Amino acid sequence: MEVRLGEHLEFRSGSCSPPRRARGRFPVYGANGPIGFAAEHNVSGPLIVVGRVGSYCGSVRYCDSDVWVTDNAYVCRANDPAETRYWYYALQTCRLNEHRAGSGQPLLNQRTLREVSVHVAQAPERRRIAEVLGALDDKIANNERVIEAAEALMVAMVGSVDARVALSGLARRSTKLVNPADFDDVVAHFSLPAFDAGRTPVRLPGHRSKASSSTCPNPVCCSRN
């Protein structure tokens, strides 16, 4: 069925950013996600953070704990708190960024958000859908934490080694190029933006990659910029 967001969700602006620190108890959320930590919070989870201003307006983040939301974002709450996570996934289908106004400093206003239409499941199904998708997201987050811990351990082990050798003695730069369009199947495209965004390649059909690319078996990728 099709509904308007305002029928199921409440939007309100966040507060001025508090003094931020690199570490702390409460994450601080801006227009595009976490930007630091604070000693106190201004909202309690569960909630959804929606980017309000800038090029990232319309981005959505799910928070199940207490956080501080700045005035560059909206605090979004479901009328039924138990459906909060479902609406987090539903909002990702709305292309909220396309509803922004202004060019120099794009923004989303609450009136526009409330009028956005979205196709949603019937009420009894929403929690079940959220449970399945949420379990997958939680598993991904747990795996990422394991990877981060393993990488930190490896860096610590390498840092304790006294011997030094030239990098050229361990690896070589590959210059072999291929045309991804020649592949019949999906390719894992490791672009510079992909490297910066979580170091995860983008899976896409080969014909959608417009530039020649390097092919490397078992590579170690390093950003050159």
* Alpha-carbon span 63 to 9, nearest angstrom: 15
Asked whether residue 152 is domain-assigned, the answer is: no
Which helix (DSSP H) or strand (DSSP E) does residue 156 occupy? helix 123-159
Segment 7-32 shows an average pLDDT of 91
Domain count within the chain: 2
* 22 three-state secondary structure: coil
Q: How many angstroms separate the CA atoms of 215 and 135, rounded?
A: 34
The pLDDT, as a whole number, for residue 76 is 97
Domain assignment of residue 35, given as a range: 2-132
Place of tokens 């704990």: 65
Phi, psi of 15 (to 5 degrees): -115, 165
The predicted pLDDT at position 121 comes to 93
For residues 8-24, average pLDDT: 90
Residues 95 and 200 in one domain: no
Domain of 52, CATH number, reads: 3.90.220.20
The upper half-sphere exposure of residue 117, i.e. CA atoms within 13 Å in the direction of its Cβ, equals 3
What's the CA gap between 162 and 168, in Å, rounded?
18
In the prediction, which pLDDT does 92 show?
93
182 in the same domain as 127: no
Average pLDDT over residues 201-209: 70
Query: Which amino acid appears at position 16 of this protein?
Result: C
Whether 198 is in a domain gets the answer: yes
Q: Which residue has the higher pLDDT, 164 or 190?
A: 164
CB atoms within 10 A of CB 156: 9
CA distance 79 to 114: 13
Which residue(s) pair with 203 in the sheet?
A: 188
pLDDT tens track for 50-86: 999 988 899 999 999 999 999 999 999 999 999 999 9
Longest dimension (CA), the chain: 65
Query: Dihedral angle at the C-alpha atoms of 67, 70, 74, 75, nearest 10 degrees?
Result: 20
The residue count for the chain: 225
To 10 degrees, the CA torsion angle through 124, 127, 130, 131? -120
Q: What are phi and psi of 220, to 5 degrees?
A: -115, 115
* Average pLDDT of the residues of the chain: 85
For residue 194, pLDDT over 90 is answered with no
In a domain, 166, yes or no: no
Task: Render pLDDT for 135-183 as a digit per residue (tens, 0 to 9).
Answer: 999 999 899 999 999 989 988 888 777 777 887 877 777 777 777 677 6
pLDDT at 22 over 90: no
Do 42 and 128 belong to one domain?
yes
Within-domain flag for 146: no
